[in-house]
């Protein structure tokens, strides 16, 4: 036989595009259009419906950036269309090749009921059911948002309504009534599915040729002058090939409807509220027509938004949840970043997320759903289990630049040894269209062949694309059991996970973090957003601690439960994986800065109010210590007057144009350049700074990654570096017995920096406060600490513990980790001695090592202080910043934990009654056991909840003593429910409870007051 394959394939493409697809709508009449421009921000629906409309027409321009235009659409179904299927086609001017990221609309009836959304590939509204009577009046309203298109990865000021242009962005393309030819539409679906299947089959596969010949017969059967009249006949030619069943060994795909909606990114938070309402309306409408359709939605925050702002949509969603079609997943307040979110905040993501799903829908979610976050902390498996969940899903690891992840289904083991069953969909997208190419890729790419046979495919257009479409469901129906294709079943994520775990219980184990070899710049971009997050986490700890203490100790004090929950949810929202990482538009980060300032004021008020109630009336200074370790004789979580200093005074001496500071524990030498050339640990008789080098050396690099400006730093940035060792001024700013401060000012480029280096009496750290007026663009600022330590690995704090990472680059896996994330501290050591660098708001770090001519090894720890990418915010980090970090020579991991908390939780002094001592609500007699949070129970019972963890990475035993009469102590999960199988805890006569914790174990105890 002659090979005419290309001729048939070309014929199909042309006939499909130029004749069959256009024939889906056979007749049309224009609708009457009126418009009203909402002034400023979006208005309530009732106001939009009642507005004064003016005439408009197809072809008109509309929509300034970030504006809202309301359209009123009227018309009448022609009487001669009786018995036909009719749709309103409402094209706002979409770019159909870009589903999402542009204008969108939500259609309402005159009574304010939301009908469905308008999106680039979903621009229709059904009129009068499947068959119209003819003569029906049509009256619809469209709330249309004119979001600018910001996906070009080029600097733009359109990302904030304060700087965006006001020229119209869109043109009304079409607003018609049209007859929908159902049989033609079905023919289109048949041909598209078979065409995409055919192109994935080998040319040597007889099935490919069988499909080709069926398509050829189908095309012969279509009368191009009467497609609608011949579509049914043409479909019969395809029936046999569409009915051929899949092979017994065919890969099985669980298709889960999904619409990944970033809670903020290239649009502000307020626009996400509307995106969620639009997509949810689409899904409810699709479910009405397709009872088999299942849609999974994560992020409790997004459902809370529609409850608040679109209650009619929420009511419809709630009904579909009860019916089992609309499925909450994820169990977190938002799809948060997991690299930088603090431990307690991560616990609260689960607490408030799962609590919302339980309270609103009675649904206990079991799948943690984080397809798009930029890497996953090794603390996550334990948190997943403690939240009552048991499965984990991610997709983003497929984006890694260097190493291909070896598994798609596996057990993920966390730092404490907890394992969670995890799936990484081989379809390599969380926005699948269920097309043949993607289904074939999933089957080919799946790495568990021979042991497992199942994968999951989230399908639907995200980020304003409108979610799954009827076309996607048509593909799923045809691919349910089709020869040459994987078997596709639309079902809940829980159904997939249950089957996959049963099939593959002995899946391989991956231990440690799921490091994304991409987007490493997100540890540093938008420093003020990161600082706002860290400070808010610390302030929430303080507010809860002292409010709980006051509630237990002060009669009549009312614990501010509602206020704390509201603030927590606001902080959790801003931990979303494009806000905290610094990868959103300028508008998002401007609002974040304003929000964090408001939160600070509220939390300061709660804390001071509680401390004042505890201190009583008087003028004697009372020092409150919120840290989990005793400090200067003030107990952890308690308050008392600080006694007279008993440690050695700080001394200062001039030295070679610089200064030497000493306090009996450390001897610090600052040279004439203002650099630390010696940090001597007196007790250990060890020098921390590598010989011939200088610590606290600011360095600047060019920073122009290949793509993803705010997200990425590429390794080649290291090829060029400038040491900032020029000095504008160097002086002794403060010198007392209690402390000494050296101030050094430098200028570089258009920027200036002033650093204050402080040594305090009794402290074994050198505090460094850095004020930067940052005016650089596409530059990267680092602070380097070359240490005289032979360290094979670094220890970096993560949630409820730490992770070790190699300092060498033996393999591509280690080399890819050229930028790493740490929380409050990073520490390096050789047997017997180490050094830590702690910080109050920095996350990005790098650790390298070099051999010296003297045979020693220098391990250099660098903090990533500031970046200056220009997309998506062209003014990223411009302005003034205050950053605090400290060098801790001789620090063990336990020392680093303590110093990290101290720099983040400074003491507070409040005037109070003479002799007042505020005893801690809880004491722990082992520094390895750290109190992470003290709060009152969520249920309003008055029980006190304390969360602890083992911080050193080894077993710990100790006694937890309650500072109040305790009736019972119960171990709970993160939702404060009794934990099945946990040991019983019986308080002793002194209120003490004996604890035994395994390495990095998180322990939540609920203490009922007697």
Instruction: For residue 759, give both structure tokens.
Output: 């040594």
Q: Name the band, by pLDDT with cuts 50, 70 and 90, for residue 220.
A: very high
Q: What is the pLDDT of residues 227-248, one digit of tens each?
A: 999 999 999 999 999 999 999 9
CA distances from 232 to 13, 17, 241, 479, 908 (A): 19, 18, 16, 20, 79
Element containing residue 742 per DSSP (H, E): strand 739-748
- Give the up-direction half-sphere exposure of residue 741: CA atoms within 13 A in the CB hemisphere: 11
Instruction: For residue 214, give both structure tokens.
Output: 């069926």
Q: What is the pLDDT of residue 982?
A: 87
> Taking the alpha carbons of 555, 972, 347, 861 in that order, is the dihedral positive or negative?
positive
Q: What is the pLDDT of residues 934-946, one digit of tens each?
A: 999 999 999 999 9
Helices (H), 578-654: 586-615
Angle, CA of 265, 266 and 270, to the nearest 5°: 75
What's the rounded mean pLDDT across residues 117-129?
96
Collapsing DSSP states into helix, strand and coil, what is residue 309? Answer: helix
Quick one: DSSP state of residue 519? Answer: -
> DSSP string of 810-879?
SSHHHHT-SSEE-SSEEEEEETTEEEEEEESS--EEEEEEEE-TTS-EEEEEEEEEEE---SS-TTTT-E
Residue 720 CB neighbour total at 10 angstroms: 9
Comparing CA positions, the residue from 176, 173, 168 lying closest to residue 69 is 168
Q: What is the pLDDT of residue 24?
A: 98
Q: What is the pLDDT of residue 727?
A: 98
**Does residue 989 have a pLDDT over 80?**
no
- Give the up-direction half-sphere exposure of residue 281: CA atoms within 13 A in the CB hemisphere: 29
What's the rounded mean pLDDT across residues 73-101?
97
Comparing CA positions, the residue from 484, 489, 411 lying closest to residue 444 is 484
- Please state, in angstroms and rounded to a whole number, the distance separating the CA atoms of residues 387 and 367: 11
What's the rounded mean pLDDT across residues 56-67?
98
Q: What is the pLDDT of residues 876-907, one digit of tens each?
A: 999 999 999 999 999 999 999 999 999 999 99
- Please state, in angstroms and rounded to a whole number, the distance separating the CA atoms of residues 484 and 482: 6
Instruction: For residue 487, give both structure tokens.
Output: 């078997």
Q: What is the pLDDT of residues 12-32, one digit of tens each?
A: 999 999 999 999 999 999 999
**Does residue 644 have a pLDDT over 70?**
no
- Please state, in angstroms and rounded to a whole number, the distance separating the CA atoms of residues 230 and 786: 78
Instruction: For residue 950, give both structure tokens.
Output: 């083992």
> DSSP string of 100-168?
SSS-EEEEE-TTS-EEEEEBTTB-EEEESTTS--SS-EEEEEEEEEEPPP--S-S--STTSTTTS--S-
* Catalytic residue ranges: 372
Average pLDDT along the chain = 97
Q: What is the pLDDT of residues 445-466, one digit of tens each?
A: 999 999 999 999 999 999 999 9
Collapsing DSSP states into helix, strand and coil, what is residue 737? Answer: coil
Collapsing DSSP states into helix, strand and coil, what is residue 356? Answer: helix
Q: What is the pLDDT of residue 284?
A: 98
Element containing residue 537 per DSSP (H, E): helix 527-553
What's the rounded mean pLDDT across residues 971-986?
92
Q: What is the pLDDT of residue 476?
A: 98
Q: What is the pLDDT of residues 90-99, one digit of tens each?
A: 999 999 999 9
- Please state, in angstroms and rounded to a whole number, the distance separating the CA atoms of residues 695 and 676: 5
- Please state, in angstroms and rounded to a whole number, the distance separating the CA atoms of residues 365 and 276: 20
Strand partners, 754: 745, 771
Residues 860, 850: contact at Cβ < 8 Å?
A: yes
- Please state, in angstroms and rounded to a whole number, the distance separating the CA atoms of residues 542 and 532: 15
CA distances from 680 to 249, 421, 847 (A): 67, 48, 21
Strand partners, 137: 76
Percent of the chain with pLDDT over 70: 100
- Please state, in angstroms and rounded to a whole number, the distance separating the CA atoms of residues 711 and 519: 4
User: Strands across the sheet with 922-924, in order?
Assistant: 922-924, 956-962, 992-997
Q: Name the band, by pLDDT with cuts 50, 70 and 90, for residue 866.
A: very high
CA distances from 514 to 237, 336, 460, 991 (A): 49, 15, 25, 41
- Please state, in angstroms and rounded to a whole number, the distance separating the CA atoms of residues 475 and 471: 6
Q: What is the end-to-end Cα distance of the chain in Å, rounded?
A: 90
Q: What is the pLDDT of residue 647?
A: 80
Q: What is the pLDDT of residue 645?
A: 66
């Amino acid at each position: 036989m002659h090979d005419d394959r290309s001729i048939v394939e070309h014929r199909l493409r042309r006939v499909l595009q130029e004749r069959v697809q256009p024939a889906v709508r056979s007749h049309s009449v224009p609708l009457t259009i009126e418009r009203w421009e909402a002034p400023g921000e979006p208005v309530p629906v009732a106001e939009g419906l009642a507005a004064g409309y003016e005439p408009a027409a197809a072809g008109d321009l509309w929509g300034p950036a970030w504006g809202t235009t309301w359209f009123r659409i009227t018309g009448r179904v022609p009487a001669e269309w009786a018995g036909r299927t009719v749709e309103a086609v409402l094209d706002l001017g979409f770019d159909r090749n870009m589903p999402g990221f542009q204008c969108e609309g939500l259609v309402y009836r005159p009574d304010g009921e939301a009908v469905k959304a308008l999106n680039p590939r979903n621009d229709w509204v059904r009129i009068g059911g499947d068959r119209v009577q003819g003569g029906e009046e049509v009256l619809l309203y469209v709330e249309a948002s004119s979001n600018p298109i910001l996906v070009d990865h080029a600097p733009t000021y359109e990302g904030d309504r304060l700087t965006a242009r006001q020229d119209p962005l869109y043109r009304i393309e079409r607003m018609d009534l049209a007859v929908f030819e159902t049989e033609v539409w079905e023919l289109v679906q048949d041909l598209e599915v078979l065409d995409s299947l055919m192109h994935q089959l080998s040319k040597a596969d007889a099935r490919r040729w069988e499909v080709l010949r069926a398509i050829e017969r189908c095309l012969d059967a279509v009368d191009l002058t009467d497609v609608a009249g011949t579509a049914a006949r043409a479909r019969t030619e395809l029936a046999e090939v569409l009915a051929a069943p899949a092979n017994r060994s065919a890969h099985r795909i669980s298709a889960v409807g999904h619409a990944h909606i970033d809670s903020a990114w290239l649009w502000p938070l307020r626009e996400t509220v509307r995106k969620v309402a639009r997509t949810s309306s689409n899904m409810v409408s699709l479910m009405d027509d397709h009872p088999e359709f299942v849609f999974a939605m994560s992020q409790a925050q997004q459902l809370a938004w529609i409850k608040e702002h679109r209650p009619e949509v929420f009511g419809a969603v709630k009904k579909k949840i009860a019916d089992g079609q609309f499925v909450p997943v994820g169990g977190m307040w938002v799809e948060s970043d997991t690299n930088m979110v603090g431990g307690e905040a991560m616990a609260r993501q689960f607490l408030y997320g799962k609590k919302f799903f339980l309270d609103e829908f009675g649904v206990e979610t079991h799948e943690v759903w984080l397809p798009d976050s930029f890497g996953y902390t090794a603390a996550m498996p334990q948190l997943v289990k403690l939240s009552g969940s048991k499965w984990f899903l991610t997709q983003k690891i497929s984006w890694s630049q260097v190493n291909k992840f070896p598994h798609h289904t596996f057990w993920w083991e966390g730092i404490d040894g907890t394992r969670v069953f995890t799936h990484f969909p081989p379809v390599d997208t969380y926005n699948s269209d269920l097309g043949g190419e993607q289904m074939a890729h999933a089957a080919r790419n799946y790495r568990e062949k021979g042991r497992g046979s199942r994968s999951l495919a989230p399908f639907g257009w995200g980020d304003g694309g409108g979610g799954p479409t009827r076309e996607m469901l048509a593909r799923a129906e045809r691919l349910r059991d089709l020869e040459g294709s994987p078997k596709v079943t639309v079902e809940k994520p829980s159904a997939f996970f249950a089957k996959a775990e049963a099939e593959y219980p002995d899946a391989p184990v991956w231990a440690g973090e799921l490091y994304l070899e991409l987007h490493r710049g997100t540890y540093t971009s938008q420093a003020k957003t990161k600082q706002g997050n860290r400070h808010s986490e610390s302030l929430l700890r303080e507010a809860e601690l002292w409010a709980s203490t006051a509630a237990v100790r002060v009669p009549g004090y009312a614990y501010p439960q509602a206020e704390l929950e509201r603030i927590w949810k606001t902080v959790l929202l801003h931990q979303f994986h494009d806000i905290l990482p610094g990868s959103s538009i300028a508008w998002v980060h401007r609002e974040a800065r304003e929000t964090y300032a408001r939160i600070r004021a509220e939390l300061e008020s709660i804390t001071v109010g509680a401390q004042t109630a505890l201190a009583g009336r008087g003028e004697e200074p009372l020092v409150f210590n919120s840290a989990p370790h005793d400090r200067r004789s003030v107990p952890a979580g308690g308050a008392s007057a600080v006694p007279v200093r008993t440690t050695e005074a700080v001394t200062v001496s001039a030295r070679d144009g610089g200064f030497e500071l000493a306090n009996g524990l450390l001897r610090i030498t600052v040279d004439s350049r203002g650099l630390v050339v010696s940090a001597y640990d007196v007790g250990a008789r060890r020098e921390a700074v590598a010989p011939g080098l200088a610590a606290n050396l600011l360095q600047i690099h060019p920073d122009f990654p290949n793509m993803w400006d705010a997200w990425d730093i590429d390794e080649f940035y290291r090829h060029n570096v400038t040491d900032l060792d020029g000095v504008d001024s160097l002086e002794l700013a403060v010198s007392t017995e209690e402390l000494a401060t050296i101030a050094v000012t430098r200028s570089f480029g258009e920027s200036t920096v002033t650093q204050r280096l402080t040594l305090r009496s009794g402290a074994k750290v050198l505090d460094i406060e850095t004020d930067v007026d940052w005016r650089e663009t596409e530059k990267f600022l680092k602070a380097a600490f070359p240490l005289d330590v032979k360290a094979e690995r670094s220890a970096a704090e993560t949630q409820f513990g730490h992770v070790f990472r190699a300092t060498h680059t033996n393999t591509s896996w280690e080399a890819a980790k050229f930028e790493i994330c740490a929380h409050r501290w990073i520490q390096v050591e050789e047997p017997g001695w180490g050094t830590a660098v702690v910080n109050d708001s920095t996350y990005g770090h790098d650790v390298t090592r070099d051999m010296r001519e003297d045979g020693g090894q220098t391990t250099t720890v660098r903090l990533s202080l500031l970046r200056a990418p220009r997309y998506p915010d062209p003014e990223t980090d411009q302005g003034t910043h205050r950053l605090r970090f400290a060098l801790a020579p001789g620090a063990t991991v336990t020392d680093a934990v303590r110093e990290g908390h101290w720099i983040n939780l400074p003491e507070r002094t409040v005037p109070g009654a003479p002799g007042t001592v505020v005893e801690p609500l809880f004491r722990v007699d082992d520094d390895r056991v750290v109190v992470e949070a003290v709060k009152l129970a969520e249920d309003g019972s008055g029980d006190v909840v304390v969360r602890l963890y083992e911080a050193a990475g080894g077993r710990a035993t100790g006694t937890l003593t309650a500072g109040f009469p305790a009736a019972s102590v119960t171990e709970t999960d993160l939702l404060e429910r009794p934990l099945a199988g946990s040991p019983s805890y019986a308080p002793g006569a002194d209120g003490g409870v004996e604890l035994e914790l395994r390495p990095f174990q998180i322990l939540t105890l609920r203490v009922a007051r007697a």
